[in-house]
Amino acid sequence: MPVIALLAAVLAVSAEQLVQWKYGTLGIVGLTLLTVGVKARNATCSSLGAAVLALMVTGPVL
């Protein structure tokens, strides 16, 4: 069980670093809002985080 928790933590940190590298500080804010919203079961917070990430991804296209 500790191995699974360690792998999950490594995956989460890697995803966070990738978002920070590619999308900057606003990407981390969106990812944090999404994560906190999902863990707290808060639809508003998770929706706001998903919207921020979606705008970051589609920003150059628009």
pLDDT digits (tens, 9 = 90+) for 8-38: 888 888 887 887 787 788 888 888 898 899 8
Percent of the chain's residues with pLDDT above 90: 21
**Residue 48: pLDDT band with limits 50, 70, 90:** very high
Does the pLDDT of residue 49 top 60, yes or no? yes
Distance between CA atoms of residues 37 and 14, nearest Å: 20
**Residue 60: pLDDT band with limits 50, 70, 90:** low
H/E stretch holding 42:
none
Instruction: Classify 14 as helix, strand or coil.
Output: helix
Contact criterion met (CB below 8 Å) for 28 and 2: no
- The structure's pTM equals 0.69
